[in-house]
Amino acid sequence: MSSLTGLLYGALVVYLGGWYLGKLTGNFSLLLFILTLATFGYWLAERFVFAPRRLVSARKLEEEGTARRTLLAHQGITKVDGDVSEARQQALAQPWWLDWTAGLFPVILIVFLLRSFLFEPFKIPSGSMIPTLLVGDLILVNKYYYGVRLPVINKKIVANNDPKRGDVMVFRYPKDTSVDYIKRVVGVPGDEIAYRNQQLYVNGEIQPTQPLPDFFQEDPVPHFDKQYAEKLGTVEHRILVDRNRQLYIPNDTFPFRENCRYSGEGVSCKVPPGHYFMMGDNRDNSMDSRFWGFVPDQNIVGKAFFVWMNFSDLKRIGSFK
């Protein structure tokens, strides 16, 4: 059992390390669910099997010690070596592998429930949301803002707020639902979204922008991008525009591809019911709905709202729009 426990936690450490370094992806909700079930199994075994066995052993030691002292007392020997209470405590002590499984079950259960229904941490792996979010930002996502969903299968069971234009949302990538993406909601069901000549239009109206000082980026090579304050609905946020970037017209097909029209000026799409049109704030360095299509409601994970850590820049900690 100790070897199995070591293997269980070794696999968890490898996965978390790979996740943080961006080397591993997968269904962490499923992994945490399995870990919760596994520790629950250990907890049941400890409560109904291992702990009663240790208690029986401790009582047996105590009874044997009492019987021995009684026998020696009859023989006139009152001074007896050995401490029965110390041996009893050793017999009752949990082995390390139970301490790290059954003992941690309540903690892991709380983490599973918090992560599944309240808040979930994510790490920003790419620059598609610069300047709002930087590579290496560790963010919190509100899991219940858009409704309560069952863990692992992501099925909504209680409705809450609908996504609004301007929200920063985490969702499962439509082409590979094992991967989580983060973008900004620019189109809700029924909207006509157009991105022409590097300007955003919603239902035929251009979204107002104000120029800001150029934004310096080090990757992939040091350069400056044009930076603007854009107002999308009631949300004002910053975006980057690369004036030298040429429009890329995707060849891939995706659900409701017929709702989109591509031209030399850009793209225009009609958002279908139950779907959302997502774009990165780093407008010309973001693979988003312009290229792989719409995000269905069942793919929604939650609303991003807070940077809780960036090990390269602690000043990044705080809320964002």
pLDDT at site 166: 96
pLDDT at site 182: 97
Whether 238 and 106 map to the same domain: the answer is no
Whether 161 and 237 map to the same domain: the answer is yes
Where does a domain end: 112, 130, 150?
A: 112
**What is the C-alpha separation between 93 and 58, in angstroms, rounded?**
10
| DSSP state for residue 314 in the 8-state scheme | G
Asked about 126 being catalytic, the answer comes back as: no
Q: Which residues of 96-127 are buried (b: 16+ CB within 10 A; e: fewer)?
A: ebbebbbbbbeebeeebeebbeebbebbbbbb
**What residues contact 146, with CB distance under 8 A and at least 6 apart?**
160, 161, 162, 163, 169, 300, 302, 303
Above pLDDT 70, what percent of the chain? 90
Strand partners, 140: 121, 306
**What is the C-alpha separation between 237 and 8, in angstroms, rounded?**
43
In a domain, 117, yes or no: no
pLDDT at site 4: 67
Q: Which of 188, 163, 162 is nearest to 277 (CA)?
A: 188
In a domain, 56, yes or no: yes
In a domain, 69, yes or no: yes
**What is the C-alpha separation between 59 and 114, in angstroms, rounded?**
40
Whether 157 and 201 map to the same domain: the answer is yes
Whether 221 and 272 map to the same domain: the answer is yes
Residue 132 CA, chain-centre distance (Å), reads 18
In a domain, 180, yes or no: yes
**What residues contact 100, with CB distance under 8 A and at least 6 apart?**
5, 9
Asked about 312 being catalytic, the answer comes back as: no
Whether 193 and 220 map to the same domain: the answer is yes
Mean pLDDT of residues grouped by 10 in the chain (321 residues)? 69 71 69 86 91 86 73 67 71 83 89 88 92 94 93 87 96 92 97 95 96 87 90 93 76 91 92 98 94 96 95 90 82
Sign of the Cα torsion 303, 308, 314, 318 reads positive
Which of the following is catalytic: 29, 116, 143, 183? 183
DSSP three-state, residue 158: strand
In a domain, 220, yes or no: yes
In a domain, 245, yes or no: yes
Report which secondary-structure segment, H or E, holds 221: none
Cα torsion through 266, 268, 271, 272, rounded to 10 = -120
**What is the C-alpha separation between 26 and 16, in angstroms, rounded?**
11
Whether 99 and 155 map to the same domain: the answer is no
In a domain, 177, yes or no: yes
Where does a domain end: 62, 83, 112?
A: 112
Whether 55 and 90 map to the same domain: the answer is yes
DSSP three-state, residue 146: coil
Considering its fold, how many domains does the chain have in total? 2
pLDDT at site 100: 83
Tell me how crowded residue 70 is: count the other CB atoms within 10 A of its CB: 9
Instruction: Give this prediction's pTM.
Output: 0.78
pLDDT at site 222: 84
Q: Which of 218, 196, 20, 193 is nearest to 127 (CA)?
A: 218
Where does a domain end: 93, 112, 131?
A: 112
Residue 249 CA, chain-centre distance (Å), reads 31
pLDDT at site 299: 96
Whether 166 and 307 map to the same domain: the answer is yes
Give the chain's count of helices (H) and strands (E): 7, 18
Which of the following is catalytic: 29, 128, 286, 289? 128
Whether 298 and 156 map to the same domain: the answer is yes
Whether 242 and 133 map to the same domain: the answer is yes
Whether 183 and 294 map to the same domain: the answer is yes
Domain that holds residue 22: 2-112
pLDDT at site 279: 98
Whether 104 and 201 map to the same domain: the answer is no
Answer yes or no: are the C-beta atoms of 108 and 35 closer than 8 Å.
yes
Q: What is the CATH number of the domain that holds 170?
A: 2.10.109.10
In a domain, 85, yes or no: yes
Q: Which of 179, 109, 169 is nearest to 143 (CA)?
A: 169
